[in-house]
Chains A and B, each alone.
Chain A
Amino acid sequence: MHPDLTKVDEILNRYPRDESSLVMVLQDIQSQFRFLPCEALEKVADDLAIPRSRIFSVATFYKAFSLSPRGRVVVQVCKGTACHVRGAQLLEDEFCRQLALKVGGTSADGSFTLETVNCVGACAMAPVVVMGEKYHREVKAGQVPRLIKNAQKAGADKAESRSAPPLPEYRLSSAAEVHHRNRMAVDTRKALAGRVQVCGGTGCMAAGAKDVHDALCKAAEAKGLPFRVELSPCQHPSKQYLLSLNGCQGLCQKGPLVHLMPEDVLYTHVKSADADAIVDAIANGTRVDRLLGDHQGRSDDPFYQGQLLKVLEHCGKVDPESLDDYMAHGGFAGLAKALSSMTPEQVLDAVDQSGLRGRGGAGFPTARKWRTALKASKKTGTPTYVLCNGDEGDPGAFMDRSVAEGCPYQVIEGMILGAFALGAKQGYIYVRNEYPLAVARLQLALAACRKVGLLGDRILGSDLSFDIRISRGGGAFVCGESTALMRSIEGKVGEPRAKYVRSAERGLYDSPTVLNNVETWALVPGIVEHGPTWLNSIGTDRSKGTKVFCLVGQVQRTGLVEVPMGATLRHLVFGLGGGPPEGRKFKAVQTGGPSGGCIPEHMLDLPVDFDKLTEVGSMMGSGGLIVMDDRTCMVDVARYFVDFLMGESCGKCTPCRLGLPQLSFLLGKVTRGEAKEADLKAIEEIAVGMGENSLCGLGKSAPNPVLSTLRYFREEYEAHLRGSCPAGVCRNLIRYEITDDCIGCLLCIKACPNQAITGEKKQKHVLDQTKCDKCGVCKSVCNHASIAVLPGGAS
C-alpha cells in the first residue's frame, strides 16, 4: 500500500522549506500515517533538499518516530522515576503479558502498540499509563485487563478537543495602552461576583477536569446562574461568575480541583456529578462540605503553607488561554515599563542585581550569559537568538510543563524582555514532544500576542521587532542539553558538541545564543516590573529567589510547590508533603533527575540551593524531588537511572555509549544476587571514569545516581551480594507470601496469571513458590493487605 503523498505535501506546506522544519515535518507525518513510510521520507528529502541518509539518521535518533506502522491504540506505560518507584515495572510486565507483546511491539491485528515513555509530566498521579491520548492515573497491575478491554471497545481515545477561543480584537500600540488595558481588565475582574476556577493542568485533566468544567457550565445554565467564560466588560457584572479552566494549582493528587474565589474554597476530587451541588451552593452562598476534605481552601491547607509563589504567582489563577486575564494580573506591565522607561542595559542590570541564576539545573548566572552573548553579538554584528528550554527531560519533574500550560504569557513576556535587553530578532521555545497541551497553549498565546502587537514588528510602537517560533522535540532527553537542543532546532540529530566555544558566543546557526529554562524566563517579568529586590530579598547568599519543585514518589501529598531557596528538604518532604504514606519509613529523596543523587535521611536538614546540593553529590536539576520510603531498593534505583540514560545517550562518545551498558550489566548482576565485591569496585571505576571522560553533561553526570547510592546506601548493595533485597523489590531476591490476614476471597486466585495460588473460599489461600514469577498482580488486587513481600528469595 502506498501512502497518500498529497498528505505529505500538505504537511510540508505548513513549515518553511528548510532543514529546520525536518523534525516537525516528520512528527506530522508520524501522526498522519502512524509511522514514517519510506516513500514519504524520500519525498521530504527531495523537497527539503536534505540527503536521504540524514533524514534516516534523524528518523532513527528520535524516539517519537517509528519506521513500521503503530497500532490503533498506543499504550504508553510511564517509566519515569516517580512512576518507577510506585511500581511501573510491574505494570509494564503485566501489559506485556496481557497483550502478548514486547515493549515496542505491535499486535498482529494492528490494534495495540506497547511502548514505554519517560515521564509524561503527570507524576503526582503515578503510576501513569497513557492509552491513545487518554491518561490513566494510579494504575494497578490488577486493572490492566480491564483497561485493555475498554480500549478495545472504544478504539483510540481522542483527547478532548476544544475549539480555540477567539483571538483578541484590539491592538496595543504603546506602553500607555498596556497600562490602560491592565486597569480595565482588573476592574472588569473585580466587578464580578466571583470566579470558579477548574484546574486544567495535566494532572486534573487526567482525572476528568474537562468533564467537570463542562458539567458546571451546563448546571449553571440549567439553574440560571450567570457563568461567563470570557473576561470582558458586561452588564450587571456583580451578578456574574467567571468560569475558567486554569493551569495547575499544585495539589494534583487531589484533582480534579475546583477553586472558588474570592472566598478561597478549594473543592477536591470533584466529579461531573458534583456540578449541580456546586452551582447550588454558589447560588445560595453555602459550601459543599463533602468536597472540602480536611481543609477549607488554600490558605489553611498545610500543602500551601510555607510556600512562596513567584514563578507560580499566576499559575492556576489565570486563564492560560486568555490574554486579558493575564492583563488583569498585571501582565505585560513589566514589558511596558521596560519599553517606555528603561534602556536595554538597565534591564540587563536589573536581572544582574536580582541575582537570578538559571533554573534549568546548573544555576549559571543569567546576566553573565546575557552579557557574553551581547558582547559577541556586538563584535560580529549578528543578532542574538533567544531560546527557551522547555524540554524538561528529567523524569519525575513537571514544573516547566505546569508553567507553560498554566501561564504561557509569562514565559513569553520574559522572552520579549530578553530580546529587548539583547537586541534579538528571533526566539524559539523548544518544547518536548510529550507535552501537547503546553504546545497548544503556547501556540495560542503566541498568536494572541502577534495579533495585538506584543510580538512582530515594532512591538508597542518601539524599535523592538521580535517574534517567537515553537520547536517541538522528538523524544530525546539529551536534547535538553544546550548544544544538542540547538542542533535539534536546526533539524539535525541531537548530538552535543564540546563547549570550548560557548554557545552564548556561537550557538544556534553559529550565532550568539541565549538559552534559558522556562522557569528562568518566567521570573524575568517580575524582576523588571518590581525591581531586583523582588527576587534578591529572598533566598540564600548565593541562590536568590524561590525554586519550584515537584514533590512526587512515596509521599502523602504530591504536587507542585514553590519555596524560597534555602528551605530544608525536611520542610519540603515532611512539612509540605506530609512524609511517606501509611506511616512508612523515609529512606531517601532523589533530586536532580538522572544527573542527581539520592540524599539520605541524616541530610534532610540541608538547605536546598544550587551549591549545597552539588556539595553532597547531587544537584538541583530542574527541581524534581522524588521521595523514597523503605519500599524502594537503592540498587534498583541506581540501575533504573542507568537504564534510563542508556536509552537516552546520544551514542556519540565512547564512555557514555559503552560505559552505561556495562554499568547496567554489572548492576543487573547485583540485583540478581550474582555479584561479588569485585563487581562493586568495577561499577565504581566505570562510573568515576565516565564522569571524567564523557563529552557532555549527560555522560558526565550519569554516574551521580550510582555513586551517591554507593556512598550513602552501601549496606544495601552488600545485602544484595549476600542474596537479599531488604526493600523487597529485586525479583530474584524476594518472595511473595500470603499472611494469616487472608480471608479467602478468591480474588488473587482469579488474578494470578501463573495459577500459583490455590485455596477454598473463606480459607487461607496457598501460594506455590515454584510457580510464582513475582508479577505482583495478587498483591495489587488483594483488598485486605494479606500478601506480603519478604526479602530473601523463595524459601
Chain B
Amino acid sequence: MTTLVNLTIDGRTVRAPAGSYVLQVAREAGIEIPTLCDHPALEPVGACRLCLVEVTHPDWKGWSGLMTSCLYPVEEGIQVSTSSARVRDARRQVLTLLAARCPSSAAIRKLAEQHGCDTTLLQVDPNADNCIVCGLCTRVCESYATAAITTVSRGATKAVGSFEAQPPEECVGCGACAQVCPTDNIPASRTGADFRIWQRTFPTFVATVDPKRCTACGSCEEACPFAVARVVFAAAGHHVASIPAEQCRGCGACVGACPSGAIDQKTYEWKAMLEPVPSFSQGGAS
C-alpha cells in the first residue's frame, strides 16, 4: 500500500503518494513547470535544469534549496514554490544559455522570449545546430529501440552520435528519436517509400487490414507494440480492426499475430510518417 504525504505547491495543499516526483505531482495538480529533458515514458535524469523549484520545510530552520523537480521525491510537509524569484532566475539562466547555444531553434527562442532572456553579451554562433543535449533521443532509443545512438564526448563538445560516427547499423528506422527531440534537431525525411534517418534509408511498410477476412478478434491490438492497431466499431454493429497508415511503424508484429491472415504489409507511399506516436506516453517506463 502506498502511503500518501501532504505537501504544498505554491501554497496549495496537495496529497501525493510518497516517492512520486514533485514535477509529476505538480502537473497532476494542474501546476505547470517548464521542462526540456523530461518525458513521461522515460526515467528522469535531471539534465536540462529547467524544472528547478524552490523547496523548504518547517523543520529546515528557514533554509530553502533549489531542487530538480523531475527527480525530487515528495516528502511529508515540504513546501514547494514554482515561481519564486530564485526559480525564475534559474529558468532565465538556463534558457539564456540555451538560446545562445542554438539561436536557430524556434522552440528555444520562444521559451527564451517568454522568460525575458538576453544574450547580447554572450557568444552566439549563428551556425550552430539545435541540440540541447537533453538526451531524450538516446534514452528513447536505448529504452525502446536498439541503442543505436549515444552521447559522444563530454563537456561543451558533448553531442549525439553513433558508433565511430558511422550510419548506425543497429538503427531500425523507427523514427522515435526524431520525434521526441524538442528542438527538431534530428533530420528525418521521407521520399516515396524511403524513410531516411541517420544517413540510412529504410523501406517502410504499413499494415493494411482486409475487412472481409477480419473477425475483430483483437489479436493485432494486443500484438501492436505501438498501440496503433485497434478494433473499432464499423457499421451496423460490426467491428473491424483499424490500422491508421500514418501511425503504423511498420514493425509487422500484427501480420504474424492475425489468426485469419487478414493483415498484409504494403509499401507506404503517400504521407509523411512523422506524426505523433500516441503510444509513447502510454508505454510508461518500468
Contact = CB atoms under 8 A, between A and B. Distances in A.
B150 A651 contact: no
Contacts of A498: 46, 68, 71-72
Contacts of B169: 52
A658 interface: yes
A38 B164 contact: yes
A380 to B, nearest CB: 16
Interface centre among A52, A646, A660, A665 (most CB of B within 10 A): A52
Interface stretch (A351-359, A539-547, A572-580, A686-694): A686-694
B231 to A, nearest CB: 36
Contacts, number: 143
Nearest to A53: B150
Interface string A529-545: 00000000000000000
Contacts of A648: 154-155
A682 B100 CA distance: 14
Interface string A291-314: 000000000000000000000000
Contacts of B3: none
A663 B46 CA distance: 23
Interface in A37-53: 38, 41, 51-53
B47 interface: yes
A53 B162 contact: yes
Interface in A460-488: 476
Given A662-B122, A682-B121, A692-B86, A650 B155 contact: yes
A653 B48 contact: yes
Nearest to B152: A60
Contacts of B150: 51, 53-54, 56-57
Contacts of A476: 154
Given A57-B151, A662-B123, A653 B46 contact: yes
Interface residues of B, number: 50
B112 interface: no
B66 A692 contact: yes
A685 B156 CA distance: 19
B32 interface: no
B89 A692 contact: yes
B149 to A, nearest CB: 6
Interface stretch (B91-99, B220-228, B271-279): B91-99
Contacts of B164: 38, 41, 56, 67
Contacts of B90: 689, 692-693
A659 B101 CA distance: 10
Nearest to A61: B154
B186 interface: no
A184 to B, nearest CB: 52
B248 interface: no
B158 interface: yes
Contacts of A611: none
A682 B157 CA distance: 23
B203 interface: no
A655 interface: yes
B104 to A, nearest CB: 16
Nearest to B89: A689
Given A38-B164, A56-B163, A654 B152 contact: no
Interface string B148-188: 11111111111001111000111000000000000000000
B49 interface: yes
17 contacts: A53-B149, A57-B151, A60-B154, A61-B153, A646-B156, A649-B154, A650-B154, A652-B135, A652-B158, A653-B46, A655-B94, A657-B155, A658-B101, A665-B122, A689-B93, A693-B94, A694-B49
Interface of A: 38, 41, 51-57, 60-61, 67, 476, 493, 497-498, 500, 646-655, 657-662, 665-666, 678-679, 682, 685-686, 689-690, 692-695
**8 smallest beta-carbon distances between A and B, as pairs:** A651-B158, A53-B150, A689-B93, A658-B97, A51-B147, A649-B155, A52-B163, A57-B150
